Structures are given as C-alpha cells and as structure tokens.
Structure 1
Amino acid sequence: MFMPKSPMDTLHFSCIQIAIALLLFTQANSTTEGSTSALHPNDAIPSCVAGEKSALLAFRAGLSDPASLLSSWKGDDCCRWNGVYSSNTTSHVVKLDLRGPEDGCGVETRQGLAGNISSSLLGLKNLWYLDLGCNGFDEIQIPEFMGSRHKLRYLDLSASLFIGRIPPQLGNLSNLRYLSLGNEDTYSTDITWLSRLTSLEHLDMSGVNLSTIVHWLPLVNMLPTLKVLRLPHCQLRISPDSLDISSNGFYGPFPDGIGNMTSIVELDLSDNNLVGMIPSNMKNLCKLETLDFSVNNIDGSIAELFHRLPSCSRNKLQWLSLHDNNLTGSLPTTLVEPLRNLNQLYLSDNKLTGHVPVWIGELKQLTNLDLSSNNLDGVIHEGHLSRLDMLVELTLSDNSIAITVSPTWVPAFSLGIVELRSGQLGPKFPMWLRWQTHVTSLDISNTSISDIIPDWFWTAASSVESLNIRNNQITGFLPSTMEFMRAEEMDFSSNQLGGPIPKLPITLTNLDLSRNNLVGPLPLDFGAPGLRTLLLYNNMISGAIPSSLCSLRALRLLDLSRNGLNGSITDCLVNESSTNMTGLGIANLSLRNNNLSGEFPSLLQKCPRLIFLDLGHNQFSGALPAWIGEKLSSLSFLRLRSNMFYGHIPDELTELVNLQYLDLGYNNISGSIPRSIINCTGMTQTRDNDDLQDAFTFGVYSAGNYLVNYTENLTVLTKGQERLYTGEIIDMVNLDLSCNSLSGEIPEEISALVALKSLNLSWNNFNGKIPENIGALMQVESLDLSHNDLSGEMPSSLSTLTSLSRLNLSYNNLRGEIPTGNQLQTLEDPAYIYIGNPGLCGPPLSVNCSSQPEPIPGENHGDASDDLVSFFLAMGSGYVMGLWLVFCTFLFKRRWRVSWYLLCDSLYDWVYVHVAITWSSLRGKING
C-alpha cells in the first residue's frame, strides 16, 4: 500500500514514484459472506467442499513450492490448509492468500510459488479474495481466465515476475475494489477495460509499460470510487499537452485534470520535473489530506501556492511537502483558513525570503517542521514555539534566522531532531537545549556561539547519535565522561576547545576535533574500536604516537598534521601484529608538520591499503627502505618533503605502479634517478581517479548536511610558488626531487611520464643535456630544472609544451639559441627563465646569436692582472659607499632596521640547517 514518504525517503528513491495517491486503502470487509469474521482458516468448523478440494489440488499440481508454502495441503479437509479461507455458513472457499515471503519481494530470486497457474481455480466459484503477489511466475503471462472470476473483489498479482500483456479480460471483474498488477516486464496498449471496474478503490500498475497510452487521465477520472492510484515507472504520456512521463518522472506543467479528481485524499507527484504553478482548480479537492509535490521545478510565489490550496480541505490537510522546488517570496503573514490538523510541513530547499510567520506556532498538531536551505531571516521567538507541544523535528538550517528566547524558557516539546546550522543562536550557549534530552541528531554548527560549553550540555547530549557543533568559538574541555555517550559521529572542529582528549564512546565511528586548542598526549586507549575517521589536525597535541593506534583496525582516515607530536613512531605490539592479522585498513595518513623523528616508520608495513601518505616537514632521517614497493603497493601519493632522509632512491620504489605524486624535496638524497621510474604508470597515463575518491574525501551525510566533512588538501610547490590544492589534489600528477644531492644525467625515461603536470628537479647536481624528447610531457604545466649543471643546447621540443605556464632553466650551463615557439613566447618573466646561462642567446634575451663568438678554449682575453686590479678597486669603493648608505638608512628608519635583523636571522637559520644536513651526510658517507 502507498505510504506517504518523508523528504529524505523521496530524495533517496532509486525508482521515481509517479503516484496520484488518494487514500490508504482500507479493505471494505462488511458482514457479508466474504467478511473476515465469517472466514475460518485451518481450524474451520465446516468440512471442505469436495469439488473445491479437487480444484485446489489441481492448482497445486502445476506449481513448484521451494518455500513450502503449500506443505500443509494434505488430508481431506482443505478448509484447514494454510492460505485457504472458507465461509462458516456455506463451507465454500472464499479467500486464497498465497502471497510469497516479503523478504524476497522485489528481487529476482523468489522463494515463493513458481510454475503455471491452472484454470482449475475457476472451480472456486465463490472466491472473492486472491493474492498471489511476491511469487516467481517468471516466463508466463497473467492468465486470461482471471477475468472470469466475477465475484473477485481483491486481486493482487504484483511483484511475481509475470511477463507480457495485461489481459483486458480483467475488465470483466466489475466487483473489484482492489487491483494490484505491478510487474516490470508487463505492458498494456489499451486500458479502456479499466473504465468497467466501477467499484475500484485501489489501482496499482507500478512498472507496467503504458508508453502507448495517451488518454489515461480522463479514463482514470471515470472511476467514481477510486481512492488510490499508483503508476510509477509506467512511461505514460498525457494529451493534449504531450506530457512525457518516463522513468525519470513527469515533464512539463501540472495537468489540469488533477482538479477533476475530487475524491483524492492523497496526492503525490514528488520527484519529477513538473514546472510552473500548481493548477488553480485544485481548490476542488475537498478531501485532500496529503499533498506531496516535492523535488520538482515549481516556481512562482509561495503565497500564491498557499492561495491555490483547497480551502475546503484545510482542516483535513495533514501532510504538506513542497521541498526542493523553486518557490520564491515570503510565506503569507496570515491564513484565511487555519491548518488545524497539519502535522508535517516541509518547505526546505526553495528560495523563500522574509520572516517566519507567527501562524506556524498555531499548528498545534505539528510534529515535523523543515524550513532549511532558504533565504529566511528575522527572529523566531517563544510565540512561534510555545504551543508546538507535539514537535519532534525542528529543521531551520542554512537560513539567517535568529532564535531568541528567554534563558529561563522551558519548551513543551521534546525534540528528536534539532538542525539549526548557520542560524543565529549565540553569543551565549542556548539554554533551552538543556531540556531536550531525547535528541538523536543535533546540529548547531556555525551559529555564532562564543561561550564556554556548560556541563549540562554533555548530559543532555548523552543520547545524541549525530552531534555537530563545528565552526563556533566554543571554549572549555571535553568531559571525562565522554566515553559513556552514545554518539556515532561527532564534529567539534573549528572551535577553541582545550585540554586533553578523553577516552572516546565505544559507539563512535567518526570524530573531527581539528582546528582547536587541544593539548597533552594522545590517549593510550582510544576506546572506540570501530573508529573509521579521526581528524585531530591543527591542535597542540604533543608526545609520541602510541602503539594503541594499532588497535583501531577499522580506521580509514587519520590526520594528525600540524601538531607538536615528537619522537619516533613505534611499531605495533607483538600481540597486535600476529601473522594471522590482515593489517591496518588505513588508506589516508597525514603526519606532516610535526616534530617526529627516527627512520621511515616500520609500522607502515602493516598498512597495505595505504593510498595517501604525508610525512612532510618533520625530522625523519635514514635511508628510504626497499620494502615500500612491496608493502605499500596501493600507494598513490607519497610526500616526504622537508625531512633529513639520505641515501639513494631505491629501485623498489618504482614498483609502486599507482604512484602519481612523489615529493622527496628538501632532503639529502643522493645518487641518480632510477631509469625504472617509467614503471610508475600513475605518471605515464591519465587514470580514472574514482578509486581514490574515498581516500581523499570523506563525509557522513546526516539531516541534509555533511557531518565530519573532510577533503584532503596539500600545499604544492609548483609554478614557482606554493599553491594550496584541496579536492583537486586528486588529479595532481607531480614529481618533485628538488633541493637534494642527486647527480648524473636526467634519464630519457623522464620523457615517458606524460601524465605529469609538475616536474621539479631544481637545486641538485644534474649534468649532461636536457632529454631531447622532453616535449613529450604534453600535460606538464610547471617545469623547473634550475640550479643544476646542465649543459648543451635547449631541446627544440620544449616549444611544443602547449600546457606549460611556468618554466625555470636558470643557473645552468646551457648555450645556444633559445628555441622559438608560441608557447615559450607567452611565458611570464622570460629573462628570469634563462638567467645564469651566459651561453644562451636569441629572443627573449637581448644577446644576438650572430654577434656572439664561440668561446675558444685556452684563449686569454686581455691582461688578467689589470682586470683583477680594476675589479678590486671597483668592489672596494662600492663596498664603502654601500655600507655608508645602509648605515644612514638604518640610523633613521627603525622599521627597516628591524626588518633587516629579522632577515639576517632567517638567513642564518637557513645556512645553519643546510650545513648541518650536509655535515651529517658527509659523516654518514665517511662512516659507511
């Protein structure tokens, strides 16, 4: 039977329901021969009629019965068989209920009856009720003889895998009140037979192909007693307006014929593509109790829509759902007819403006109020809320509404859902929430609260399953009793909460405490074995990473970046890393910007599903282990930037075929680039990144909002500057080996990494020529080979890099003419690109290649001693003048003086770090 849907149900329907639904069908079983009170199943007093027993046995003979629905069909008295009901006055079988198991209904694998339906059922001449739904009569049509059972009042053949044409003989069943034929592989080219079913109250033809039917709405209007009509996925069309009703729903304006269906009790046209305003003749629907036009394209004024609602049914209307449309304007300030019985009002996701009218507070039967995602403003006060005793859901999120009530006000309602995101509750913590102790979903994020979190809040929120207070200025500590809460998702991010992290609730699966002021070490016992997401970045957490992290086997995402964590990362305890364990399930691990030290963590060998790993900006040291290629085979992003790693790049690293982002910059890695880098197909071909999506973005969808919403972000040094990448980082293909001690020639295999968007090999000791085929990197946007010892001429293929927007070849030993090409001529700051290469000539440089002589080895140009004297004289005089100028400037410019000292300090720190790294490397080589 059709049941009205909640907004969330509508949004998640995979099959669009095109239902003109009127009333939940109540079977009219009066005190007649077919009355329920007159039926005797199983323990019936009368004996079975012999002819009807024979008919039932013949019917059973043509069936298979995998679910043993007919296992009781034994013995002489058929009145005692399951599913068989007889009259206590005549002993005739009047009801046959052989519906299949409900858990298999709607799926192709049926556990009910199958086979052929025998015409022996015609022997049950007094049968008025027949239910064969949810069975498996695949590959057979609905038998035509069904139309010969003239006494039938109830016929259900739905979801039983019938195929083919719906027999028009069903139009002979003039006594039918309930008819359900919903089967997806059936069709009808003519439904005029429906007009003969003058007693019909409930009609369900869900999924029946009616694509050739044009005049179906006038025909339906001819059924005088019809109360429920279900026609989803019927591919209907309406004439004369040619309204197409495909599996995606209605298209076009609302049909005016709706206004002629005066018996309608429930009207559901949700989840379609209807446009315009609702018909004005809807005022004729005086029996209307449920109206659902949600998820359409209704436009125009909300006040006009309310005006077109039938005033004759306003005291009957219980359900009004108009969410996800394009309604505009303000809600009417007054109502001519009050909506006394309205209990569900959904107006979310429109374009409504203005204040919330006070008449909302007069809807005393209201249980669900959803006005979220509009442009409403103004104040909601006690007058709006005091009389809503029945309210259980209050959803006002994503408006500019301020809730202003007395701090001593005690609401009469007991809410289960409170969604007030992006409204105005602060600056004080809303005291009225203290009395809402049965809330399961609470969202007060981004509500301008700048107050200490009260102790009573943790008590009131102890039963909350989904808790969101993010993006406020809330202070205070997390409670020591936090482990006794029932929460599954918690988002406390972007506040000013302090203190340590207590033991977590055992039910918790997702936690975001990022961007707070949390201090102290990580808990030795997290207390949440099912934790999948743990976000603690941007705090002041200190100490070591405990081995108890290994107990979080379900953890997929862990971000501890930008804290004060220190020490080395210990391996899992022996009893937590036994050979029968499959390892940790973590896919995204970010530990960047801490003070962690030690060698590359051996713990990571137990993380075979790791896709993203960021250890950048720490103090890790040692050589990169060869096991990375074997143990971390799923790795796509590896960022080890700004550490103290040394040694060669292991060949095994190139076994990471999915690797598309490798950043080893600012370490002390030596040796050459392995030629096997070509094996990293993540850099050689553009890939479908859908498989990376779960590792880079994560959110729990709750009450129309993403709770614990996370998108991986990285600062990437590319195009000569640091750029922040958020969600788009998933598409970044990057190789950064800058600021190391790599040497040798750049291998030709680099040119095969054609998916690269950024290549940075600067500040190394590379020599030899730039690979001739470098122009094959057609997607590269940033190419930096500066500060090396590269020689020879620039490859002409550089001019073919059409995606290139940043090039840096400065401070090498390149010579010859700069290649010409449209792309090279469009680059910014062209002189800087080639500075430090005195042998280069041609545009954009001012050096003319034809006038530049070739250098002759051993030739002495001029007197070297004279040049040397002149050089020192010029340098000395310049030094004195420069020193005097600086001294005078600093004497009178205090701000310049301070800036100079700060610059000197930073330069000193930079020199000190690089000297320390180089010295450490030299000692390692000497000791080695």
Structure 2
Amino acid sequence: MSLSIATYACIDVEREALLTFRAGIVDGVGHSLSSWDEGQDCCGWRGVVCDSNTHHILELNLCNPYHWDLYSTNWSAYALSGEINPSLLALNHLTRLDLSSNNFSGISIPEFIASFNNLTHLNLSNSKFGGKIPQQLGNLSKLHSLDLSSSSFIKTVSPLLGNLSSLWYLSLNSAFAVTSMANADNLEWISQLASLKYLDLGWMNLTNAADWLHVVNKLQSIKVLLMKDTSLPSIPNSLSYVNFTGLTTLDLSGNSQFNTTLPIWLWNLTNLSYLNLASAGFYGKIPNDLAKLTSLTYLYLGGNNFVPTLPRAVGKICGLRGIDLSSFGVGGDVRELIEMLGCSRRNLEMIILSSNNLQGNISNWLESMTNLKHLDLSNNSLVGPVPLGIGNLYNIEVLDLSSNSLHGVISEAHFANLTKLVELRLSYNSLIISVDQSWVPSFQLTVISLHSCRMGPQFPAWLKWQLQMNELNLCNTSIADTLPDWLWRLPLTLLDLSNNQIAGRLPASLQSNNLDILALASNNLEGPLPRLPERLQLLDLSDNAISGPLPQLPTSINCLMLSNNAINGSIPSSICDHASLQILDLSRNYLSGELPRAGGRIPIWIGEKLRNLVYLQLCSNIFDGNIPSQLAKLASLHVLDLADNMLSGSIPCSFGHFTMVYSELAYYGHLGNGSFSSSVYNSTMELVMKGRESTYSEILYLVRTMDLSGNNLSGEIPEERGALRHISNLSFARNHLVGKIPEKIGDMLSLESLDLSSNELSGDIPLSLSKLTFLDHLNLSYNNLSGRIPSGNQLDTLDDPSIYIGNAYLCGPLIGKNYSGDQAIPTGTRNYVNRFEMVWLYLGMEPGFVFGFWTVCGTLLFCMTRRNTYFQMIDNLFDKIYVTVAVTMNRLKRKWR
C-alpha cells in the first residue's frame, strides 16, 4: 500500500494506526483523546507531533496530565488504560514515545516497542506495567533517554485503625497495596544502548540484578542515572576502571540492602552535580575524598548510619546549593552546624536537617540566609521564638519548623516579605498565630499545617485568600467558631480541623468539592451528614453530635469513622459493595437492625472484598458456625483475633498459608505523614498475648498473631500450621481439638507464645518445639498428652510446671515424675486406653454410689447421737463463716471511708 497525503496533512496509514490503537484504549474522565474523534488531520490531535515537511508522525506524547499524588484521585481518574495495539508499528518514523503516568494494570511492556528503530526517547514511567522488562529494548541503539521508573502505586490513603462495635467489633488497618512492578533478572541488555544519556529505573524490582554496576560502567555517554528504591542487592566497593565519569546525576537512594561503606569508585565521578545516597544502608565515616566532587550542587546523605559528624569535606564544596542530612543523628547547636557548611553556607537554597538531635534556636543566623528556598528543621529540639528576621527569606518556598519546642507569637510581620511561600508547616510547637482578621497575605499557599498551634477562638479569616490551598491542617488549634461558607469553595483535597470546639452544621451537600480527606473529629458539630464528595477517601467525624441516617457513600471511600455520634437507622446493605472500604467505625451510635449479610456468622465478604486488611479483630461476640476459609485470602493480615465466640467446625487448612511477614510499607503507613489528626493514628488494640491482655499502639505494626481460643472448634490442628514462619503468637486454647500437636510446629521460627491448653490433644509433645529460640510463653495444660517432656535450647528456660498440668501421662523432672516405659502411654493408643478406662468408670459408678450413700447417709438416718453431732458441727461452721465475712466487710468499709 502506497503512502498518500490527502488534503489534510496526516498520512493515511499512520492515522489508521492511531485509530486502531485508540480503539483498544479506555480514555479517562478528562477525555484526553477526544480530539482523535474530530477531523482527519492526526497531526492536530492531542499528543501527536508530525514532521512539518514529510508529515510523518515523530512523537506520541500521551502522558497523563496528573502525576500520581497520595491525596488526589486525579491520577487514576485521568489515566489511560486498556491494551496497547501493535498497530503503532506503522509509525516507523517515531522518535519519542511517552505513555507515562497512565494505568495499564500490570500488563507487560509490549515487546514490539523494541522495533521502533528511530526511537530516541522512551518514557513508560508510573504507568503500572508489570512482568519482566523485555530485553529486546536493547535493540533501540539510538535511544538517548529511557525512563522505566515505576513508583509504587499506594492504593490506600490512610493505614488507620478503626472499630465497629455494638453488634460486633471490627478493627481494621489497611496495608499499602503495591501493584506488581516491572522487574528484571539482569540488565545486560542496557549495555547495548551505546547512545544512552538518561536512564531512570526507579522503583523497579532489581533484586536479582547483581550485574547492574558493571552494566552501567559500559555506558560511556550516560549523564543521568536514577535507580531510586530498586532493591539492588549490593554495591561493589571498587571497579577495575571507571568508564562513566561523565555522569552528572546519580540517585541510588532507598536501596537499604547495600549495608556497606561508601564505595571508592564514587570519588572518580568528578562531574557529579547531583548525588542522592539517602536511606541506602551506608555506614561508617564519610571520607574527605568527598571534597573531590567539586561540581556538586545537591547532596543527599540522610537516613543512613554514618558517623553522626558533618565531614569537613562538605565545607570545601563551594558550589553546594542543597544538602540533606535528615535522620543523620547529628546533634549540638544548629548554628554551629550551619557554620560548618563553610564557603557554601550563604549560597544554600535547600537545607534539610529534619529528625536529628539539634538544639539551640534559629535567631541570629537564619535571617542572613536570603537564598534559601527550602528549609526543613522539623523534628529536632529547637527552642526559642521564631525571629522577625525570618521575613528576610524572600526566596523561601517551603518552610518546615514542625515538631520542635519553639514558642512565642507569630504575627503578620513575620510573613511580610515571604511572597514566594508555598508550604508552611509549624505543627507541634507552642506557637501563637496572632494575625488580624482583616489581614490579606502576600503569598498563595498550597499546604498549611499548624497542628497544635494556638489560633482561636475565631476561625482565621485570612485563609479565604489562599485560593490555591490543597491541604489545610488546623487540628487542635483552639478554634471555637462555626465553619465559614467560603471554606467549602477553596480547592482543598485535605482538610483536618479535628480536636477543636467547632459548632454548627455541615453543608447539605459537599458533592462538588475536591476533598479526598475530611477530618473533623472531636468537635461540636450537629445535624445530618451531608452528601459526600464523589472522590472522598477518608471521612472522620467521630466524637461529634451528628444525627440522622447514614448517607449514600461514595465508591472511592477507604476509611469511614463516625463513632460516638447520634446516627440512627440501619446500616445500608450497599456498604458491603464498597470494595475499597478498609476502615469502618460506627461504634457508640443509635444504629438498629442487623449487620448486612452477616446473620450470626462471620461474613464471607470480609475475605472476598477486604483484601488489604492487616488487622481483623472479631473477638468476644456471638459468632457461630464455621470459620470461613475465605479469610485466608487476606494476604496482608498481621492480626487474626476470633477468640471467645461460638465458632465450631475445624480450623481451615488454608490458614496455614498466611505469610504474616513484616512489611516496611505497613510500618510507614502506621506512622502516617503528619497530615492527619493524631487521634486517627493513635489507635490501639487490646490483644491477649503471652497469657495476658495487653494494649498495643506504637508497636502494633510489629504484632503478628492468630487467636482462635475460647470457641467450640474441633478436629485436628492442620499440619499446614507449621508454614506460619513469621507469626509470633498462636493460641488455640479452650476448644475441643484432638489428635497430635503437628511436628512441623517447630518450623514457626518466630513464635514467641504458644497456647494449646484446655483441648483434647494427645500423643507426645513434638521435639521440634526445642527449635523455637524465641519462645518465652508456653501452655499445654489440660490435654491428654503423654510421654517424656522434651528439653533443650529454649525449652530449658520454661521451668514452670503449670505449663504441663492436667496431662496425667506426661513425665519428666520438671513435674516430678521420672520417665519409665510403664508411665508413658504409646502414641496412637491413648484414645483406646481412655475409652477402656471410661467403661470401667461407668461400671463402677453405680455400686460405688450405693455403698457411699448408705455408709454416710444411712448412719445419720439411724443413729441419733451421730446425727446431732453432725448438724451441730455444720451450725458451728456456718457461725464461723458468718463472723469472718462480717468482720471483713466492716474492715473494708472503714478502709474505703
């Protein structure tokens, strides 16, 4: 077919290729491909760039206009999805292909992309591609820029705890859900890209790419290398030769597996202007060789285990514009540390010293650093007032002084010249924000975080001029006012006004708002719940006086916390259809009726739909029936507490497949990001661990437990239970379990507490228990166990005889019964012996009863002397008991008075 140019500029075959590709794509709500449905000139379509002479398509730029953001649903709403049709191969003049920030739902990167021989720029970043990276991409010999970074898409907004009590209790904590990321076993194919200057593999899974540095060392033209959070297995300390000395940008941050000192080949990269080694597992002393990197402008060393002393070499790099020493462990006076930055000090544009042990104040040095654009001194021990001279920082864009011990008053004068300020974070200080209600700021903030500063009692009117504000956190700021109407007209995605004395009612409808997160807990709000924004993911209105029925919930809701209100009516059955709902707390309201689809049993939909559950606590209710095997689908579960119900049947074999592995994502989710009210993150769970009930809060993310005690469970303990290698607490106590304790229980190497008491277990105690080196609580009492009590390793430290009480046929020094062949009941015959004993017991009961009755009662019946003596003894005993009780009660009364 010959290529013909019609009256329109676009070439027919290329336009048809685009239309075929378009047919397989699902457009987002922004309808970014709507122009492709209008007209025949594809060179005028959105994202299409043609050669002005040949009219061939040179570029296809279909990047999502909204990049992924934690607090925004715009990313997914505007993303393209669907299939990538190989019809694009007709665009054989293509030099640039950009499909970044879209949502291709884990499909593999199409191999046919490697056939675009003229491609110089390829960007597939943040588009949720999965599977192996096609090594055919090494055929793109003209490629200058390759971006395959795949930053983890976190599905949830708030890894928070919630409670659902009254009819039952449900405590949920959502884990971060990370999509399948693209990965590679090796990167050898990259070495074929001789023209490559820009390479970004950030957030990919490169656990098996041990060859990464040797491959990169072959790229003589490489200028920018970004490998952030790629799980690289190691970093070699030396190279026989350093070939990529033209490198200007290097980012290896987040590769915490390195666990080594800084490599010596690093000092050969003398052209580096940007070096990011944050949170990469480095330790030791930073050598003075750092001074060889004279071209450095930005240096990130935070989050490692370096010797917490600022190296003198830093003070010799005069071109430095930004430095990050967060979580460095450095202490002392902050002013002295700033002075150690030497010749670059007054030219610095970015200083990040958060989460250290810095002391002193910020007066008499900060005012002179007029080039600063980004200052973060949060989470230190700084004291004193915020100086008026901070107004000299007329270039400042981000100011974060939160979580210190600053005090004093901040007025309009502090902000007079800060016209470029975009983010203001002063939370968790003893500051008073005192500005006139008529003040009109000279800046336009996008983020305002003033948690625990004093601002009230009036609602700050100056906020109405912040027309670009996305995040507003005024939690615990002593506001005792009603909410102004203009607040709901701001472009907020996050609003936290919790822990104030705000009164009044919410608007009848918030559906037109852009809110993703709305937290108004612990106020005096009343009236009905409004119609909620369609994109809302978190709503916390607990501890108010909200009344009326539950409204229709948006499909995007992740967390709904409405406890301690006056909400009435029933729980709508539609709540079970919200697949994204992960935290639900409706406790202490006036709800009536039954839980939808629940009956008296554990709902199956918990396992089917709440796949991101980390904590499931349904203890002390009246659940009956079998345990749903579907609960085993909760792959992220850390806590399963079904204790003290009326559950029957056997323990599902599938429960043995819970991994309960520690997750850093769950940890960071538990910490939160400081944007929400503290009441949300300071949730607790009461769990029975090691034989006693304890409250867990700060270390809740570390707890991994399964508690099925206090039910009517029967059958044997499944052998698969030994697969729970990461569980720390296991309790099946007070059930009717039979059979042996599985030998594989010794494979649960993280087990700290095991309680199998008050069952009907038989046979020997497995020797494998001695392998459990962390075990410090064991209870096997009141079973039918037999044989010798095993010893060795950790078992020798558990010297409490009550561990084994109620097992008549156990023997060993601990319980004072020496081992002999006659004492031990052979495994497999215990049930037969029990039945044989029970037969003789029943046969002996009747004559024993007759004999005992006439021996005692007959004597009393026919002998008056003995009868009088007996009843006199009873009367005397009663008198003694009465006197003892009366004296004790009087003593207690005096004590309480």
CA contact (8 A) 2:395 2:418 kept: yes
Distance in 1 (CA, whole Å) between partners of 2:96 and 2:289 is 42
Distance in 2 (CA, whole Å) between partners of 1:710 and 1:396 is 21
CA contact (8 A) 1:450 1:475 kept: no
Listed one character per residue, the Cα deviations across residues 563-595 of structure 1 (whole Å, up to 9, x for unaligned) are 66555313349xxx9xxxx75421333445656
CA contact (8 A) 2:114 2:138 kept: no
Residues 1:386 and 1:694: Cα distance change in structure 2 (over 3 Å): closer
- Structure 1 portions without partners, runs of 5+: 1-65, 75-79, 84-97, 117-131, 144-155, 168-178, 195-202, 221-228, 236-245, 259-263, 311-316, 605-621, 896-928
Listed one character per residue, the Cα deviations across residues 156-178 of structure 1 (whole Å, up to 9, x for unaligned) are 966699987899xxxxxxxxxxx
Which of the two has higher C-alpha Rg?
A: 1
- Secondary structure (helix, strand or coil) at the match of 2:300 reads coil
| Letter of the structure 2 residue corresponding to residue 600 of structure 1 | L
Distance in 2 (CA, whole Å) between partners of 1:379 and 1:165 is 58
CA contact (8 A) 1:746 1:771 kept: no
| Letter of the structure 1 residue corresponding to residue 652 of structure 2 | I
| Letter of the structure 2 residue corresponding to residue 100 of structure 1 | T
**TM-score after normalising by structure 2:** 0.58
Q: What is the correspondence of 1:44-193 to structure 2 with a 5 Å cutoff?
A: 72-73=53-54, 100-101=95-96, 103=98, 115=117, 133-134=120-121
Q: Which residue number corresponds to residue 507 of structure 1?
A: 514
Q: Which residue number corresponds to residue 454 of structure 1?
A: 459
| Letter of the structure 1 residue corresponding to residue 789 of structure 2 | T
Listed one character per residue, the Cα deviations across residues 335-377 of structure 1 (whole Å, up to 9, x for unaligned) are 9999898471324246544333524323445433333455544
Computed over aligned residues only, the root mean square deviation of the Cα atoms, in angstroms, reads 6.1
Distance in 2 (CA, whole Å) between partners of 1:782 and 1:212 is 49
Q: Which residue number corresponds to residue 678 of structure 1?
A: 652
CA contact (8 A) 2:48 2:57 kept: no
Distance in 2 (CA, whole Å) between partners of 1:305 and 1:588 is 50
Instruction: Tell me by how many angstroms 1:379 deviates.
Output: 3.2
Match for residue 584 of structure 2 among 586, 589, 597: 589
Distance in 2 (CA, whole Å) between partners of 1:841 and 1:863 is 37
Listed one character per residue, the Cα deviations across residues 380-401 of structure 1 (whole Å, up to 9, x for unaligned) are 310x223233333222234444
Are residue 758 (structure 1) and residue 730 (structure 2) matched?
yes
| Letter of the structure 1 residue corresponding to residue 656 of structure 2 | T
Are residue 355 (structure 1) and residue 361 (structure 2) matched?
yes
CA contact (8 A) 2:242 2:265 kept: no
Identity between Structure 1 and Structure 2 (%): 18
Q: What is the correspondence of 1:330-345 to structure 2 with a 5 Å cutoff?
A: 330-332=334-336, 342=347, 344-345=349-350
Match for residue 748 of structure 1 among 712, 716, 733: 716
Are residue 397 (structure 1) and residue 402 (structure 2) matched?
yes
Q: Which residue number corresponds to residue 286 of structure 2?
A: 276
CA contact (8 A) 2:550 2:569 kept: no
Listed one character per residue, the Cα deviations across residues 848-876 of structure 1 (whole Å, up to 9, x for unaligned) are 999x9998634356635579748734640
Residues 1:830 and 1:163: Cα distance change in structure 2 (over 3 Å): closer
Listed one character per residue, the Cα deviations across residues 537-560 of structure 1 (whole Å, up to 9, x for unaligned) are 5x24564651422xx101123344
CA contact (8 A) 2:765 2:790 kept: no
Distance in 1 (CA, whole Å) between partners of 2:370 and 2:586 is 53
Residues 1:748 and 1:706: Cα distance change in structure 2 (over 3 Å): same
Count of aligned positions = 671
Q: Which residue number corresponds to residue 608 of structure 1?
A: none
CA contact (8 A) 1:114 1:135 kept: no
CA contact (8 A) 2:267 2:292 kept: no
- Secondary structure (helix, strand or coil) at the match of 2:392 reads coil
| Letter of the structure 2 residue corresponding to residue 308 of structure 1 | K
CA contact (8 A) 1:817 1:840 kept: yes
Residues 1:427 and 1:335: Cα distance change in structure 2 (over 3 Å): same
- Secondary structure (helix, strand or coil) at the match of 1:657 reads helix
Q: Which residue number corresponds to residue 295 of structure 1?
A: 301
| Letter of the structure 2 residue corresponding to residue 331 of structure 1 | R
- Secondary structure (helix, strand or coil) at the match of 1:380 reads coil
Residues 1:512 and 1:232: Cα distance change in structure 2 (over 3 Å): same
- Secondary structure (helix, strand or coil) at the match of 2:581 reads coil
Match for residue 881 of structure 2 among 875, 879, 882: 879
Q: Which residue number corresponds to residue 723 of structure 1?
A: 694
Residues 1:702 and 1:250: Cα distance change in structure 2 (over 3 Å): farther
| Letter of the structure 1 residue corresponding to residue 286 of structure 2 | G
Distance in 1 (CA, whole Å) between partners of 2:260 and 2:814 is 59
Instruction: Tell me by how many angstroms 1:687 deviates.
Output: 1.8
Match for residue 388 of structure 1 among 370, 393, 408: 393
- Secondary structure (helix, strand or coil) at the match of 1:747 reads strand
Are residue 658 (structure 1) and residue 633 (structure 2) matched?
yes
Distance in 2 (CA, whole Å) between partners of 1:207 and 1:692 is 25
Instruction: Tell me by how many angstroms 1:529 deviates.
Output: 1.2
Instruction: Tell me by how many angstroms 1:673 deviates.
Output: 1.7
Are residue 624 (structure 1) and residue 624 (structure 2) matched?
no
Distance in 2 (CA, whole Å) between partners of 1:319 and 1:840 is 73
Instruction: Tell me by how many angstroms 1:190 deviates.
Output: 10
Q: Which residue number corresponds to residue 69 of structure 2?
A: none
Residues 1:328 and 1:795: Cα distance change in structure 2 (over 3 Å): same
Distance in 1 (CA, whole Å) between partners of 2:57 and 2:578 is 56
Select the structure that is richer in strand. 1
Q: Which residue number corresponds to residue 247 of structure 2?
A: 230
Instruction: Tell me by how many angstroms 1:717 deviates.
Output: 3.0
Instruction: Tell me by how many angstroms 1:440 deviates.
Output: 0.4
Instruction: Tell me by how many angstroms 1:889 deviates.
Output: 0.8
Listed one character per residue, the Cα deviations across residues 491-547 of structure 1 (whole Å, up to 9, x for unaligned) are 445556566555557111123445x24554651412x2111223445x245646514
| Letter of the structure 2 residue corresponding to residue 719 of structure 1 | K
Residues 1:280 and 1:492: Cα distance change in structure 2 (over 3 Å): same
Distance in 2 (CA, whole Å) between partners of 1:785 and 1:337 is 65
Distance in 2 (CA, whole Å) between partners of 1:378 and 1:707 is 24
Are residue 893 (structure 1) and residue 895 (structure 2) matched?
yes
| Letter of the structure 2 residue corresponding to residue 276 of structure 1 | I
Distance in 1 (CA, whole Å) between partners of 2:286 and 2:53 is 58
Distance in 1 (CA, whole Å) between partners of 2:559 and 2:437 is 35
| Letter of the structure 2 residue corresponding to residue 623 of structure 1 | G
Are residue 444 (structure 1) and residue 450 (structure 2) matched?
yes
- Secondary structure (helix, strand or coil) at the match of 1:386 reads helix
Instruction: Tell me by how many angstroms 1:466 deviates.
Output: 1.9
Distance in 1 (CA, whole Å) between partners of 2:340 and 2:612 is 62
Q: Which residue number corresponds to residue 863 of structure 1?
A: 856
Instruction: Tell me by how many angstroms 1:441 deviates.
Output: 1.0
Instruction: Tell me by how many angstroms 1:716 deviates.
Output: 1.9
Are residue 820 (structure 1) and residue 789 (structure 2) matched?
yes
| Letter of the structure 1 residue corresponding to residue 894 of structure 2 | F
Residues 1:826 and 1:190: Cα distance change in structure 2 (over 3 Å): closer
Are residue 649 (structure 1) and residue 666 (structure 2) matched?
no
Residues 1:840 and 1:563: Cα distance change in structure 2 (over 3 Å): farther
Residues 1:728 and 1:625: Cα distance change in structure 2 (over 3 Å): closer
Residues 1:403 and 1:841: Cα distance change in structure 2 (over 3 Å): same
Instruction: Tell me by how many angstroms 1:417 deviates.
Output: 0.8
| Letter of the structure 2 residue corresponding to residue 510 of structure 1 | I
Distance in 2 (CA, whole Å) between partners of 1:692 and 1:369 is 27
Instruction: Tell me by how many angstroms 1:842 deviates.
Output: 9.0
CA contact (8 A) 1:531 1:554 kept: yes
Tell me which of the two structures has the higher relative contact order, counting C-alpha pairs closer than 8 angstroms and 6 or more residues apart.
Answer: 2
